[in-house]
Structure 1
Amino acid sequence: MHNDDGISGAGGGVGGHPEDRPPVPHTVIEGRYELLEPIGSGGMGEVWKAHDRRLRRFVAVKGLLDRRAMTPDTQQAAVQRARREAEALAKIEHQNVVTVHDQIETADQVWIVMKLLEGRSLADLLSRDGVLGVPRAADIGLQMAQGLRAVHEASVLHRDVKPGNVLVRDGGQVVLVDFGIATFEGADRVTRYGGVIGTPPYLAPELFAPATPGPTSASDLWALGVTLYEMVEGRLPFAGNEVWEVQANIQQSPEPALRYAGPLGPVIQGLLAVDPDSRLDAATAEAMLREVLAEPGTPTPVRAATPAHPPTARPTPPAVSSSGAVASGTASSGTAPSGPVPAGSVSSGTSSASREGRGRFRGWKVAAAAACVVLLAGGGWLVSQGGSGDKQDDASGQQGAGSAGGDAKQAWEQWKSARKRLTIGAKEDQPGLSFYDKDTGVWSGFDVDIAYALAGRLGYDREEVDFYGVTTANRASKLKNGEVDLVVASYSMTPEREKRDGISFVGPYYNAGSSLLVRKNSAKYDLDEAVDVKRNQVEVCTARDSTYADRLQKDGYTTGKWQPDTYKECVERLLDKRSSVYAVASDDVLLAGYARNDPEELKLLPSGAGTEPYGVAMRKDDPLLKSKVCSGLREILAGKQWSEMYMKDLSPLTGRKTAPSRPELRPCSAE
């Protein structure tokens, strides 16, 4: 059926007028976007996972109109306003803001079609970890500020900045999402059911003043301050489930105590200035956050472990007082931060309110440095990382070894005591090598079996091993950020990667060949050997930052200007008959898994010259771990376990009836 409103499919909802009924699964908007399942609720209703039938991709679709809050008299104005909002959001192109693909208007709704992103919300991370270390919180806050600046420069306000609307992707990229209640700066104040739109604990105090002009960019920055506070302190600065409770707490204690914020203290206090005219603007907040991350001695952002006790039960370091945070000193110029800024950004045309905000905190650099020294001396903000930071772990391991007179066993027990669980990065989408079944929650494949066997030799039971999905593009950053202890993810061992990424390899545990995956029945090209792919100059896809990314062009192959993060995305393009991709380049055993899963559409070309040695990767500054991994992998290769794993996982892909000779382990001293 096809409805006059442009939405095809069955109607849904219970009672009321048709326009009051929510959409149901398999509703198709404009004959293109098929609604599959609701994936969350936001300011204007549910957000749906949808399938774009034209481009054969999954997207997120959300309606901008809250039809329950409208009357027939206000509907036309609301539609016009939502149309303008969708158009403005579509113009924002920034890595820290969700991408808007399309705008669809039906008779009773304005829809925005957005990129469907995978990752965890900041709310999920805080629920899991309790608190984040200062470096990681500063990094997330910096990316949020950058995204907000891009949004505000487009004259759009988010109005619901909070951890639940901040997506933290693999690799550390932070994306602002859920613009369902976004509006224009200077637009009429809009309420829902008599209340101000937004989430109470994150709403700025000026929104409740009798003569308030409504939300402004300063309101979004207040919410950023609340979020930063929550990340490092483990609680909200102004608690309350109802608006009046939150506002009462702001009035009673406008300057919440900072116990673990360290050098983030001045940033948080500047963003939580009750007077919006004195509040930091996004550019100044960016500059301050960059300074925090650039402080000598500030460790790389890391994965925070779940604290053993709630934040209130920890030893209390000296608090950063309001007066101390803004101590006089060398004045900051208040200029825009160094480094890339969004296109069209203006660093000099700031408002008088912004200048006043920066003037109030012109001593922030000196204050941040002083706070950092004080808290480092007291073990303050490093404690908030839960003992998982690089500097702490290395120091404890080395001190343990020294105090035991070089007793490696005792040093290793100390290393393990700091990590009750072992976290291993692996790829989720490589059948036969490493695959995560989302329905069963089970990991499988050769890489996974190697990882489990290695963990056993490190003293961890299978139940004490956590796998974490990584990609070719982000696995090095996952190691450097401390989010994983090891990476076992078809990681080709090269000296360039060790030097560039600051990692160490132990291996190889497998030697793969190189190959190409092509369409089996191409109507345009006969692709039976690698030379056919090169001669026909068809586009070849590979994963970004893979060893093939540079090699393909050097070898004379045609590649696209942009490469995806995963080989799975390459294969999806290959299967799309409208795509310009006709081949995928990678390791033969990796591509064999995709060919085996789709034999009617894909075929694997004969392997080419050269090998890709797979290694286990770890941070370079952890020699104790490297030594244990080295001895553990040596034992695995020396016994029959390696051959058994090969026959179980890889023989179905390679067609071999017997296991090949085992790889020869390279020298791997703890250097």
Structure 2
Amino acid sequence: MHNDDGINGAGGGADGHPQDRPPVPHTVIEGRYELLEPIGSGGMGEVWKAHDRRLRRFVAVKGLLDRRAMTPDTQKAAMQRARREAEALAKIEHQNVVTVHDQIETADQVWIVMKLLEGRSLADLLSRDGVLGVPRAADIGLQMAQGLRAVHEASVLHRDVKPGNVLVRDGGQVVLVDFGIATFEGADRVTRYGGVIGTPPYLAPELFVPATHGPTSASDLWALGVTLYEMVEGRLPFGGNEVWEVQANIQQSPEPVLRYAGPLGPVIQGLLATDPDGRLDAATAEAMLREVLADPGTPTPTRAAAPAHPPTARPTPPAGPSSGAVPSGSVPSGPAPSGPVQSGAVPSGPSSPAPREGRGRFRGWKVAAAAACVVLLAGGGWIVSRGDSGGERDDASGQQGAGSAGGDAEQAWEQWKSARKRLTIGAKEDQPGLSFYNEDTGVWSGFDVDIAYALAGKLGYDKAQVDFYGVTTANRASKLKNGEVDLVVASYSMTPAREKRDGIKFVGPYYKAGSSLLVRKNSAKYDLDEAVDVKRNHVEVCTARDSTYADKLQEDGYTTGKWQPDTYKECVERLLDKHSSVYAVASDDVLLAGYARNDPAHLKLLPSGAGTEPYGVAMRKDDPLLQSKVCSGLQEILAGKEWSEMYMKDLSPLTGRKTAPSRPELRPCST
């Protein structure tokens, strides 16, 4: 189970009553559930990881009562209410809702015992990736709607639907969690202190109208709409930290601009209807989301439309003054065009019948989705990310394109380039010397960046036509397959296993790195001067999730933590934290050398170990034309003076070499 909110503090509450004091570790509830450690807290109550002594399994235990809002006079009524809520939650059996195993009542608390789930919250995913592709957002939204329908059919309201309370497991399963403030329809909408229950940016507008009866199932569906918007647009539809700010923004701009939603637009608009009676219900939202995933009759954008660069993309500053013209296929800086679709854009069809009741106005949503998709495509605002295929492409993108060009490779390449006026390259933002993005100046630098620029030049793009996009070890493969980047040059270790697992193709190597460990320079507890010291002392080693070191460390006998972060920068931050259990970071020697050089007072690089990590340029495996051009371009770079000059400029200060090493030997290119 995962929650992203803080833990309620220990000690007496506002009134100093015993019930205000939360339990402590190793408290045993009803002689069965031993509380081990707090793992989160929602709007009310505490959540603990616990051990079920009877069935010998780990579970999540949550108290439903807000200890701060209880007094001796209100305790009896609060206990009765929490008891009814626990009974209702226990009856919900659905794959998209956390499973409740048991209900326990103590003298001053009602507990629910739930299945302990491992995974990442949707909030974590959005924090890492910024935005999600339309198909993935639709899939997550569909599972959320299914879970909410099961909850509502049990006459329960979640009341705090938001990314932090949505768990996304490794297999793709989505689970609604944190029912700490769940309740029944028609319940009071404020706490004892007069504050609104829930998280402000996700609260429906009707909760603030005095004449209404409080939260309903429609309120949860509003929060689903906010979450869907946040997934595809990369921001909240109605900003503000305080309740009044959010509500003022809803009143001033009730229809937030949709730039990247594509066919999800009608779903989001239906869920964000300010009138709860006109808002989509869970069943209708499910049906619409299924249609978005099935995509029947929706125009599929071809590769001729450049992929939209979400708000998190980092464009490279142009080398010279801009003409002000927007290149064909690039993303407009303003909102998507509105108004009637130009003649011939969409085949005319029968008009949808006039709505006859409440939500009937959404029956024509398929036509609206198709029209919205074409309008957005006209502005280059959206492109479908399609599983492992990397998106639909026109003939100029692959083998068919070469054939249609009559075997003329140059003509086929010009067709490929005409479909992409700009080249988007994925690179890491936080690796000094290799690839680094300076947020103050907006400038990218490092060996990987220079390789990428040189390679772009061989492909016929100048620096002003190159956009760099920040990627991590964990998400670079998905960014390629989703069509968000054309190439990845990000210290990507090229192995056959990765090509098969990630569904990509490597060209390279353009560099070979050794393996090493970064440690604290002056550790009061351990003397760590060689790799064997790290292993012998069983200190915790951190590495990036999905890196080649993630599995290798355990195989080699090192001690690793249960959870690994997405970036090496996070590992280094843990290493520098004196309260952290991390004492070493494992990665490539040249990568770690950049961190050591930036903080020589606190960090020390250990001697390199055995083996090398060959860095490759990664691309989608279904684009042999691009593979061929990248291969010939990289061959030219390795054969000339460019490679040695880039090494001496970027890597020599890290490695200490006075001359460039021998160039890596390019592997044979095959498609």
- TM class by shorter chain equals 0.5 to 0.7
* CA apart distance, 1:408: 1.4
Q: Is 2:341–2:371's contact at 8 Å kept on the other side of the alignment?
A: no
SS of equivalent to 1:124: helix
Query: Structure 1 residues 252 and 524 mapped into 2: Cα distance closer, same or farther (>3 Å)?
Result: closer
Cα distance in structure 2, aligned partners of 1:342 and 1:108: 66
Query: Structure 1 residues 58 and 660 mapped into 2: Cα distance closer, same or farther (>3 Å)?
Result: farther
- Further displaced range: 313-322 or 206-215: 313-322
* CA apart distance, 1:219: 2.9
SS of equivalent to 1:466: strand
- Further displaced range: 64-73 or 53-62: 53-62
Q: Is 2:259–2:335's contact at 8 Å kept on the other side of the alignment?
A: no
For structure 2, which runs of at least 5 residues remain unmatched after alignment?
none
1:158-192 deviations in Å (ceiling 9; x for gaps):
99999999999999999999999999964546799
* CA apart distance, 1:646: 0.2
1:630-660 deviations in Å (ceiling 9; x for gaps):
1111110000000000000000000000000
Query: Structure 1 residues 402 and 113 mapped into 2: Cα distance closer, same or farther (>3 Å)?
Result: farther
Cα distance in structure 2, aligned partners of 1:82 and 1:340: 53
Q: Is 2:385–2:391's contact at 8 Å kept on the other side of the alignment?
A: no
Query: Structure 1 residues 509 and 357 mapped into 2: Cα distance closer, same or farther (>3 Å)?
Result: farther
* CA apart distance, 1:563: 0.6
For structure 1, which runs of at least 5 residues remain unmatched after alignment?
none
Q: Is 1:398–1:411's contact at 8 Å kept on the other side of the alignment?
A: no
- Further displaced range: 490-499 or 178-187: 178-187
- Further displaced range: 424-433 or 224-233: 224-233
| TM-score relative to the length of structure 1 | 0.59
Query: Structure 1 residues 587 and 376 mapped into 2: Cα distance closer, same or farther (>3 Å)?
Result: closer
Query: Structure 1 residues 620 and 67 mapped into 2: Cα distance closer, same or farther (>3 Å)?
Result: same
Counterparts of 1:62-461 in structure 2, within 5 Å, are 135=135, 138-139=138-139, 141-142=141-142, 145=145, 186-188=186-188, 212-222=212-222, 224=224, 271=271, 282=282, 285=285, 289=289, 292-293=292-293, 390-393=391-394, 397-461=398-462
Q: Is 1:161–1:224's contact at 8 Å kept on the other side of the alignment?
A: yes
Q: Is 1:542–1:564's contact at 8 Å kept on the other side of the alignment?
A: yes
1:401-448 deviations in Å (ceiling 9; x for gaps):
222201111211121122111111111111100111111111110001
Q: Is 1:588–1:607's contact at 8 Å kept on the other side of the alignment?
A: yes
Q: Is 1:130–1:306's contact at 8 Å kept on the other side of the alignment?
A: no
- Further displaced range: 71-80 or 201-210: 71-80
- Further displaced range: 186-195 or 103-112: 103-112
1:338-390 deviations in Å (ceiling 9; x for gaps):
99999999999999999999999999999999999999999999799999972
Cα distance in structure 1, aligned partners of 2:466 and 2:334: 47
Query: Structure 1 residues 15 and 197 mapped into 2: Cα distance closer, same or farther (>3 Å)?
Result: closer
Cα distance in structure 2, aligned partners of 1:21 and 1:399: 69
Query: Structure 1 residues 190 and 523 mapped into 2: Cα distance closer, same or farther (>3 Å)?
Result: closer
- Further displaced range: 312-321 or 146-155: 312-321
Q: Is 1:303–1:481's contact at 8 Å kept on the other side of the alignment?
A: no
Cα distance in structure 1, aligned partners of 2:464 and 2:159: 42
- Further displaced range: 654-663 or 218-227: 218-227
Q: Is 1:433–1:650's contact at 8 Å kept on the other side of the alignment?
A: yes
Cα distance in structure 2, aligned partners of 1:146 and 1:336: 31
1:105-155 deviations in Å (ceiling 9; x for gaps):
999999999999999999999999999985365246447758978999999
Query: Structure 1 residues 386 and 506 mapped into 2: Cα distance closer, same or farther (>3 Å)?
Result: closer
Cα distance in structure 2, aligned partners of 1:572 and 1:6: 21
* CA apart distance, 1:449: 0.5
Q: Is 1:404–1:410's contact at 8 Å kept on the other side of the alignment?
A: yes
1:251-274 deviations in Å (ceiling 9; x for gaps):
999999999999869967985899
Cα distance in structure 2, aligned partners of 1:662 and 1:621: 28
Query: Structure 1 residues 269 and 17 mapped into 2: Cα distance closer, same or farther (>3 Å)?
Result: same
Query: Structure 1 residues 196 and 540 mapped into 2: Cα distance closer, same or farther (>3 Å)?
Result: closer
Q: Is 1:284–1:337's contact at 8 Å kept on the other side of the alignment?
A: no
- Further displaced range: 287-296 or 35-44: 35-44
Query: Structure 1 residues 345 and 215 mapped into 2: Cα distance closer, same or farther (>3 Å)?
Result: farther
Q: Is 2:32–2:53's contact at 8 Å kept on the other side of the alignment?
A: yes
- Further displaced range: 449-458 or 38-47: 38-47
Cα distance in structure 2, aligned partners of 1:470 and 1:98: 32
SS of equivalent to 1:138: helix
- Further displaced range: 71-80 or 648-657: 71-80
* CA apart distance, 1:545: 0.4
SS of equivalent to 1:416: helix
Structure-2 residue corresponding to 1:561: 562
Query: Structure 1 residues 420 and 195 mapped into 2: Cα distance closer, same or farther (>3 Å)?
Result: farther
- Further displaced range: 560-569 or 267-276: 267-276
Query: Structure 1 residues 417 and 340 mapped into 2: Cα distance closer, same or farther (>3 Å)?
Result: closer
* CA apart distance, 1:392: 2.5
Query: Structure 1 residues 117 and 19 mapped into 2: Cα distance closer, same or farther (>3 Å)?
Result: same
Query: Structure 1 residues 521 and 187 mapped into 2: Cα distance closer, same or farther (>3 Å)?
Result: same
Cα distance in structure 2, aligned partners of 1:377 and 1:639: 42
Q: Is 1:126–1:231's contact at 8 Å kept on the other side of the alignment?
A: yes
SS of equivalent to 1:479: helix
- Further displaced range: 522-531 or 247-256: 247-256
Q: Is 1:388–1:418's contact at 8 Å kept on the other side of the alignment?
A: no
Residue 546 in structure 1 maps to residue 547 in structure 2: yes
SS of equivalent to 2:497: helix
Query: Structure 1 residues 280 and 175 mapped into 2: Cα distance closer, same or farther (>3 Å)?
Result: same
* CA apart distance, 1:451: 0.6
Q: Is 2:494–2:506's contact at 8 Å kept on the other side of the alignment?
A: yes
* CA apart distance, 1:459: 1.1
Query: Structure 1 residues 448 and 383 mapped into 2: Cα distance closer, same or farther (>3 Å)?
Result: closer
Q: Is 1:8–1:31's contact at 8 Å kept on the other side of the alignment?
A: no
Q: Is 1:8–1:27's contact at 8 Å kept on the other side of the alignment?
A: no
- Further displaced range: 235-244 or 569-578: 235-244
Cα distance in structure 2, aligned partners of 1:284 and 1:322: 47
1:45-67 deviations in Å (ceiling 9; x for gaps):
99999999999999999999999
Q: Is 2:398–2:624's contact at 8 Å kept on the other side of the alignment?
A: no
Q: Is 1:325–1:367's contact at 8 Å kept on the other side of the alignment?
A: no
* CA apart distance, 1:517: 0.7
| TM-score relative to the length of structure 2 | 0.59
SS of equivalent to 1:613: strand
Q: Is 1:93–1:99's contact at 8 Å kept on the other side of the alignment?
A: yes
Q: How many residues are matched?
A: 669
Q: Is 2:541–2:561's contact at 8 Å kept on the other side of the alignment?
A: yes
Query: Structure 1 residues 15 and 482 mapped into 2: Cα distance closer, same or farther (>3 Å)?
Result: farther
Query: Structure 1 residues 499 and 338 mapped into 2: Cα distance closer, same or farther (>3 Å)?
Result: farther
Cα distance in structure 1, aligned partners of 2:314 and 2:251: 27
SS of equivalent to 1:268: helix
Query: Structure 1 residues 648 and 620 mapped into 2: Cα distance closer, same or farther (>3 Å)?
Result: same
SS of equivalent to 2:101: strand
* CA apart distance, 1:196: 12
Q: Is 2:346–2:374's contact at 8 Å kept on the other side of the alignment?
A: no
Query: Structure 1 residues 659 and 311 mapped into 2: Cα distance closer, same or farther (>3 Å)?
Result: closer
Q: Is 1:95–1:147's contact at 8 Å kept on the other side of the alignment?
A: yes
Q: Is 2:8–2:46's contact at 8 Å kept on the other side of the alignment?
A: no
Query: Structure 1 residues 40 and 406 mapped into 2: Cα distance closer, same or farther (>3 Å)?
Result: farther
SS of equivalent to 2:41: strand
Cα distance in structure 2, aligned partners of 1:404 and 1:213: 67
Cα distance in structure 2, aligned partners of 1:577 and 1:340: 61
Query: Structure 1 residues 506 and 522 mapped into 2: Cα distance closer, same or farther (>3 Å)?
Result: same
Q: Is 1:32–1:54's contact at 8 Å kept on the other side of the alignment?
A: yes
* CA apart distance, 1:216: 2.5
* CA apart distance, 1:461: 1.1
Cα distance in structure 1, aligned partners of 2:229 and 2:614: 45
Q: Is 2:540–2:581's contact at 8 Å kept on the other side of the alignment?
A: yes
Q: Is 2:520–2:576's contact at 8 Å kept on the other side of the alignment?
A: yes
